[in-house]
A = this chain, B = another copy of it.
């Protein structure tokens, strides 16, 4: 599995996107803190965090018995720059808009 694939797959689950949102709002949260924000057992959250870590979207640091979680936006940015950009360039967007107008007329 490629890095890109890991990132796309990690982003495919709404719970995982929500966890990223939580870490975006406040970095350094522990598993227990994240668990309390989600309708799911600790184990479910752990599995999601593992997927996010393996995609390098979350990095961690241990502090005693706690494990602190940090959002890492770099892989998203990389995927964005070399994959999503090409579909979202302004001229492409304009063509799409035009095509839809033409279609809705017919």
A interface, CB within 8 angstroms of B: 2, 5, 8-9, 11-12, 14, 17, 20, 24, 59, 61, 70-74, 76-77, 80, 83-84, 86-88, 92-93, 96-97, 99-100, 103
Q: Chain B: which residue is nearest A99 at the CB level?
A: B70
B73 close to A88 (CB less than 8 A): yes
Q: Chain B: which residue is nearest A20 at the CB level?
A: B87
Q: Within the complex, which residue of B5, B12, B71, B93 is in contact with A77, where a contact is CB–CB below 8 Å?
A: B93
How far is it, in angstroms, between the C-alpha of A5 and the C-alpha of B99 when the chains are bound? Answer: 25
Contacts of A100 in B (CB 8 A): 74
Task: Name the distance in Å between A6's Cβ and chain B's nearest Cβ.
Answer: 10
B80 close to A96 (CB less than 8 A): no
A76 close to B71 (CB less than 8 A): no
A84 close to B93 (CB less than 8 A): no
